[in-house]
Structures are given as C-alpha cells and as structure tokens.
Structure 1
Amino acid sequence: MMLRGALVPGMIALPALAAAFWAYAGEHAALSALAGAATVFVILVVGLLGITAVVLGPAATSMAGAGVVYLGQLILIVTVVLVLRGVDWLDGRAFALSAIAQTLLMQVGQVVGYVRARHEIHPGSLDRGAAS
C-alpha cells in the first residue's frame, strides 16, 4: 500500500512537472525537470523496495537497515546531481525544483499509503490514536 501510495503521485508528477516547466521556461527546462523528477522517482521506488525487504527481515535490524537504505538514497541523489552538473543541457533550477516537488509528492503519498494500510490489533486502538 505504501508503494502504491508513492507510485501514483510520482507517476502523475513526471509529465505534470515537465509540462509545467515547459510552459514556464521552455523545452530546456522541461527536459531538466523531467530528469530531476525521474531521478528521484527511480531512487525512491528502489528505496521503498529496499525498505520493504529490510522490514521483512529480522526485527532487530529493521531500523539500522532502514537507515542504510535512506542513506543510500541520499548518496545516489547527490551522485546523480554531481555527475549531471557539468552537462550543457541541464537547467539546474528546473532539475532541483522538480526533484524537490517529486520528493514531497511521493513522501506524502507514502505516508497516506502507510496510514491506509494500518491494521487494527486491538478493537478501538486506531480510534484512540486519532483522538490523542
């Protein structure tokens, strides 16, 4: 459910961000925005799959494993930015803004998916959590 919650807004945002930057600043910015959004999309989806695998493993290593996956995502995003910074066709502002927007949209979708996927263990436990 969390993966679907992140995939849907992420897939919608890819063409939407490219179109918005195309309308605002032209084809050059649209390609850069698409590159930024696609970079984040791929890295976050792979990270979600990685966290899913970590959580299915031993409970004692779940937090450490999730931290490693998160750190790996950050390292990959920074690596892509460093590799692409010298490319002539890249509009850095469009890349960065679309990457930030994509990250926020996918994180909100992931949280919504997580909340929807929760299962009630004790009758009324979810109701009390919402009231506090």
Structure 2
Amino acid sequence: MMLRGALVPGMISLLVFPTAFWSYAGEHAALSALAGAGTVFVVLLAGLLGITAVVLGPAATSMAGAGVVYLGQLILIVAVVLALRSVDWLDGRAFALAAIVQTLVMQVGQIAGYLRARHEIHPGALDGGAGS
C-alpha cells in the first residue's frame, strides 16, 4: 500500500512538473525539472524496496539496515547531481525545486498509503472497549 501510495503521485508529478516548468521557463527548465523529479522518484522507490527488504530481515539489524538504505539514497542523489553538474542544459533552480516538491509529494503519498494499510490489532480498543 505504501509503495502504491508513493508510486501514483510520483508518476503524476513526473508529468506535471516538466509541463509546468516548460510553460514558465522553457525547454531547459522542463528537462531540468524532469531530471530532478525523476532522480527523486527512482531514489525513493529504491529506498522503499530497500527498507522493505530490511524489515523482512532480522529485527536486530533493522536500524543498521535502515541507516544503510538512507545513506545509499543520499549517495545516489549526490552521484546524479555530480554527473549532471557539467551539462549545459541543466537549470539548477528547476532541478532543485522539482526534486524538493517531488520528495514532499512522494512522502505524503507514502504516509497516506501507510495509514490506509494499517490494521486494527485489537478490535474495539480505540472506542473504549465497547466491542468487548
């Protein structure tokens, strides 16, 4: 549920951001927005899959595994930024703005997916025990 919650809004954002930047600032801004949003989309989905694997593993290594996933995400984003810093078409503001907003959109989608996927463990516990 969390994956779908992040995937759908993230894919919609991949279409919306470049279109908005194209109409506002032109072709280079649109490509830059697509690169920023696409980078975050791929990195966050990889992180979701990575953290899913960590949670399915032994509980004793969960925190260390989560740290490795987070560090891996940071390394991937820095690698993309370093690879794209010398291209002449990159508009840094469009890249950064699209990346930041894409992150927010996907995080909100993840939280919404998490909330939809939760299951009540003890029925009636939240309503004062009326179900008991």
Note whether the superposition's TM-score is higher than 0.5.
yes
* Structure 1 runs (4+) greater than 6 angstroms displaced: none
Determine the C-alpha separation between the residues in 1 that align with 2:116 and 2:126. 11
Offset of 1:21 from its aligned partner? 0.3
Counterpart residue number, 1:49 = 49
- How far apart are the structure 1 equivalents of 2:126 and 2:110? 19
Could you say which residue in structure 1 is the equivalent of 2:14? 14
Distance 1:74 1:15, change over 3 A: same
CA drift of 1:124 comes to 3.2
Change (3 A) 1:85 1:118: same
- In the alignment, residue 33 of structure 2 is paired with which amino acid? A
- 1:94 correspondence with 2:94: yes
- After TM superposition, the structure 1 = structure 2 runs for residues 33-112 of structure 1, keeping only pairs within 5 Å, are 33-112=33-112
Offset from partner CA, 1:41-87 (integer Å, 9 cap, x none): 01111110111111111111112211210111011101211221111
Q: What are structure 2's unaligned runs of at least 5 residues? A: none
- Cα distance between partner residues in 1 of 2:127 and 2:86: 53
* Aligned Cα root-mean-square deviation (Å): 1.3
Instruction: Give the % identical residues.
Output: 83
Is residue 31 of structure 2 the alignment partner of residue 31 of structure 1?
yes
Letter matched to residue 17 of structure 2:
L
User: In the alignment, residue 53 of structure 2 is paired with which amino acid?
Assistant: A
Q: Counterparts of 1:24 and 1:125 in 2: how far apart (Å)?
A: 52
Could you give the per-residue CA deviations for residues 70-124 of structure 1, whole angstroms, max 9, x where no partner exists?
A: 1110111012112211111111110010000110100010011111111111123
Give the superposition deviation at 1:125. 4.2
Residue aligned with 1:21, SS: helix
* Structure 1 unpaired stretches of 5+: none
- Residues 15-35 of structure 1: per-residue CA shift (max 9 Å, x gap): 100001001101110011001
Distance across 1 between alignment mates of 2:126 and 2:62: 23
Q: TM-score, normalised by structure 1?
A: 0.92
| Corresponding residue pairs, total | 128
Point out the structure with the larger helix share.
1
Q: CA–CA distance in 1 between the matches of 2:76 and 2:125?
A: 39
Task: Write the letter of the residue equivalent to 1:94.
Answer: A
SS in 1 for 2:88: coil
